[in-house]
Each structure stands twice: as C-alpha cells, then as structure tokens.
Amino acid sequence: MKLLGKIVFAIICLIGITGYGRELYQLIYSFFSTPRLTLSFLSGLIIYLLMSVFIFKQRGEFWNILEHELTHALFALLFFKRVDSLSTKRDYGGEVVVHGSNFIITLSPYFFPLFTVLILFIKPFMFTNIQWVLNFLLGFTLMFHLLHLFREFHISQPDIRRSGFIFSMIVVLFFNIVFIGLCLVSLKGGWREMGMFLSGGFQNSKIFAKEGWLLIEQSIFPFLKKIFNQHIMGSS
C-alpha cells in the first residue's frame, strides 16, 4: 500500500512538472522583457553565488545545516510527529530526532526553501518602498537553497537513498519548479498573483493529464488488446 501511494504521488508530480514547468517558462520569458523588475532579485542571486565561492566556502556550512534540520523538524510537526531534539554543529553536521517519518518529511529540505518561503509569506504585507529589499533577499535565499540542493542531492545521500533516487528526483523537481515560480511572480504582485500562478499551473496540468490519458486510450489500450487477442485468445 505504501509503494502504491508513492507511485500515485510520483505520477501526480510528473503531471505537475509539465503543467507548472510550462507556467514557469512563460514567467521567465515575460520577465526578460522587464529586466528592471528583476534587477534586485538577480542581484541577490549573483551576490550569494559569489559569497558562497569566496566567503562561505571557508566558513563552513552552519546555516545550510541549520536550515536543513529545521525544515525536517517543521514538516515533522506538520505531520503531528514528535520532535525530541535538534542539534547543529559547524564541523560535525546536524541531527533532528523525530518519532515517525514519511517521504515528505525526509525530502522536505530538498524541495522546501525555508528562508525563501518566510520572505514570500511576509512580502505582501510590506510597504512598496522596501519591496526591492525583499526581492533581493528572495534571490539571495533562493540561490542559497539551490546551491545546497545541487551539492546535497546525490544517490549516496541517506535521505535520498531512503526514499529512492528516481522518486526523490521527481518530487524535488516538481516542488522546486513551484517555489521558483512563486518567487518570480511575487516580484510583481502579492497573494493574488501567486494564486493565479498556482491556478494556471493546475489548469495546465489538467490539460496534460487529459491529453496523456487520451493518448493511452487511443494507442496503448488498442495495442494491448491486440497482443491479448493474439497470444491469449489465439492459444485457446
């Protein structure tokens, strides 16, 4: 039953990748035509990238470890699991002790940019004249998340090995597409625009799902029926 649930969830995420991927592509294309809107966001991306090379590389991974373990703990609480302890050390990594787990809790640090989501949440409530600062912080924290994702997401990572590499890749890709899209759309709006992005991706996903099912009905089902008639009915 657990395996079946993971298969269904992976299929939903695959459909979501096509729908929200298309919505994200359209967003990126539109932002290229308004570079002034994305200037502070892009500055945040670039500055964190440079800092990670020249500053953070020598000073360890404390903030990355802290975010990683906090995200595990947050999702454990969301699923009503008891969190006994959380520890973070610059040189020895971190650990969170949770009673009970699931693949969402296990994979949460790889698909949920905690610091970025905090900024997304408060951004619609802030004054217009400081939005450029929040846009900068969005880019800064998003690059923080993406860089550590690329470094940590590998087949020997215990979290990934526990959930399965292919399954983990599908889930992580889907949610990262969604959160990157929310970051971009928030640069020019608030809750309404973010809601429109989520709705647009959902509608695209429904279209892809219907088209995929139609393709299966028109091609794969007749092929399977033909094989069945030739090999099963013919032998009888």
pLDDT tens profile 35-54: 777 889 999 999 999 988 87
pLDDT digits (tens, 9 = 90+) for 177-189: 999 999 999 987 7
Q: Where are the alpha helices (DSSP H) in 153-190?
A: 158-163, 165-186
Higher-scoring residue by pLDDT: 222, 109: 109
Going through 71-185 in order, the beta strands assigned E by DSSP cover 82-89, 93-99
pTM: 0.86
CB atoms within 10 A of CB 197: 21
* E-state strands within the chain: 82-89, 93-99
Q: Which two tokens stand for residue 20?
A: 């929200």
